[in-house]
Amino acid sequence: MKVLAMVLAGGRGERLYPLTRDRAKPAVTFGGIYRIIDFTLSNCINSDIRRIYVLTQYRSISLHRHIQFGWSILSAPLGEFIEIIPAQQRIDEHWYQGTADALFQNIYTLQEGMPDLVLILSGDHIYKMDYRKMVASHLEKGADLTVAAIRTGREHSREFGVIEVDRDWRIIGFDEKPEEPKTIPGDPEGILASMGVYVFNMELLVKRLIEDARADSSHDFGRDIIPSMIGKDRVFAFDFRQGDRGGTKYWRDVGTIDAYYDANMDLISVTPQLNLYDAEWPILTYQPPYPPAKTVWAEEARMGTALNSIVSNGCIISGGSVKRSILSPNVMIHSHAEIEDSILLEGVDIGRYGKIRRTIVDKEVRIPQGMEIGYNLNEDARRFTVTASGIVVVPKGIRL
């Protein structure tokens, strides 16, 4: 059974602004050393799916570089690849108009590969899933399309495509972000949310993409393709619990700054919901060859410390203190600086006596000596993005 993965990595991630000002959402750093797309790509490799196309469009330079540096790990002579396909405007002169349009514009790619099944994934989500189990379920049910579904509370229905199933998990309804969702049979408070993970029989996918391309449509899998197939084709849901590698039902969209912050902070808890330590399910990434992290100065008045934190390679905590924070590679904390509950991305430099709390500092930003961020949100809001829950974001390229 020849399976081809198509990873949709064109998401603009507008609600993650300003983290997505210079990069597509899949290229946003997560957990110190990872990019969001690493989770989907690692799932593919760990599921033994080694023919992977990544479809990009907006602000893709950072993503291209990451995949080139970190993911040139497969063997072309064995027919394996991770290949980036930028929007080529080969058919249409416009940007992709929706997820289905992104696939339609690349049907030449399917023609070349001639897979039996196409696994359509989003590069926007963080989770650990064995796609082989989903493919097995697809084949077992004789499905034309299988949609991965996660159980969540009905109060979240406005955030997801909500799936309605019968007793055999055949999909009989699909509503994009409904106010009054159809609940799970036997669970009036639960709904099945689409994870944006699809297994398609290739020929039928091509037919449905073409029909959609020629119709008045928003060209979206959730809004158009799936509803058009229900009742006509064999469309089934796959329970994420059966393929969840972590066993914690962990799946995050990290669509907003607050969700991004919370998902990062989960990683510094004693037992995170997202387990990065499963040796059988490594999360691969690219790391520049920095030396190991280091703390210096251990005098009473000048102590370099990091507590309940993630500290990546290349960091030097030089006489400052770091608590409950995540430091990406090559971060420098100078003497008497205090960092709490914050996320510092690669190359950030915090000057002496700087105080940073509940703040995300984007790459390469230098915080000058004595500056305080996160202590006076009204003041911060004049210069930075401040979210509803009070998280400050200091954007890339800012000169302070």
User: Which candidate, 345, 342, 396, places its Cα nearest to that of 372?
Assistant: 342
Helix or strand (DSSP H, E) at 104: helix 99-104
* Closer residue to another protein in complex, CB, 87/254: 87
> Residue 163: phi, psi to the nearest 5?
-100, 135
Segment contacting another protein by CB under 8 A, of 1-9, 24-32, 103-111, 253-261: 103-111
- Please tell me what DSSP assigns to residue 215: S
Q: How far is the CB of 128 from another protein (least distance, A)?
A: 33
249: three-class secondary structure by DSSP:
coil
Task: Check residue 110 for interaction with another protein (CB under 8 A).
Answer: yes
Q: Which amino acid is at 71?
A: W
Task: Check residue 108 for interaction with another protein (CB under 8 A).
Answer: yes
Task: Check residue 204 for interaction with another protein (CB under 8 A).
Answer: no
Task: Check residue 61 for interaction with another protein (CB under 8 A).
Answer: no
Task: Check residue 284 for interaction with another protein (CB under 8 A).
Answer: no
Q: Which residues contact 83 (CB under 8 A, 6 or more apart)?
A: 52, 53, 54
Segment contacting another protein by CB under 8 A, of 173-181, 211-219, 260-268, 370-378: 211-219
Task: Check residue 91 for interaction with another protein (CB under 8 A).
Answer: yes
Please say whether the beta carbons of 18 and 395 come within 8 A.
Answer: yes
Binder to another protein among 210, 296, 298, 307 (CB under 8 A)?
210
Cα dist from 335 to 226, 306, 315, 332, whole Å = 56, 13, 14, 10
Q: Across-strand partners of 384?
A: none
Which parts of 339-378 interact with another protein (CB under 8 A)?
A: none
Task: Check residue 2 for interaction with another protein (CB under 8 A).
Answer: no
Task: Check residue 400 for interaction with another protein (CB under 8 A).
Answer: no
Q: How far is the CB of 213 from another protein (least distance, A)?
A: 6
Task: Check residue 92 for interaction with another protein (CB under 8 A).
Answer: yes
Q: How far is the CB of 204 from another protein (least distance, A)?
A: 11
* Closer residue to another protein in complex, CB, 217/275: 217
> Residue 94: phi, psi to the nearest 5?
-100, 170
Q: DSSP string spanning 117-143?
A: EEEEEETT-EE-B-HHHHHHHHHHTT-
Distance CA 250, CA 256 (A): 17
Segment contacting another protein by CB under 8 A, of 66-74, 80-88, 144-152, 205-213: 205-213
Binder to another protein among 21, 158, 207, 302 (CB under 8 A)?
207
> Residue 168: phi, psi to the nearest 5?
-90, 10
Q: Are strands 161-165 and 190-201 parallel, antiparallel or unpaired?
A: antiparallel
The 171-190 site mask, x for binding another protein (CB under 8 A), equals --------------------
Token digits for 212?
A: 């959609």
What's the distance, CA 147 to chain centroid?
A: 18
Binder to another protein among 136, 206, 265, 276 (CB under 8 A)?
206
Distance CA 4, CA 131 (A): 12
Task: Check residue 84 for interaction with another protein (CB under 8 A).
Answer: no
Task: Check residue 232 for interaction with another protein (CB under 8 A).
Answer: no
Q: How far is the CB of 138 from another protein (least distance, A)?
A: 21
Segment contacting another protein by CB under 8 A, of 68-76, 172-180, 203-211, 358-366: 203-211
Please say whether the beta carbons of 181 and 157 come within 8 A.
Answer: yes
Segment contacting another protein by CB under 8 A, of 43-51, 209-217, 247-255, 316-324: 209-217
Residues that bind another protein (CB under 8 A): 90-94, 107-108, 110-111, 206-207, 210, 213-215
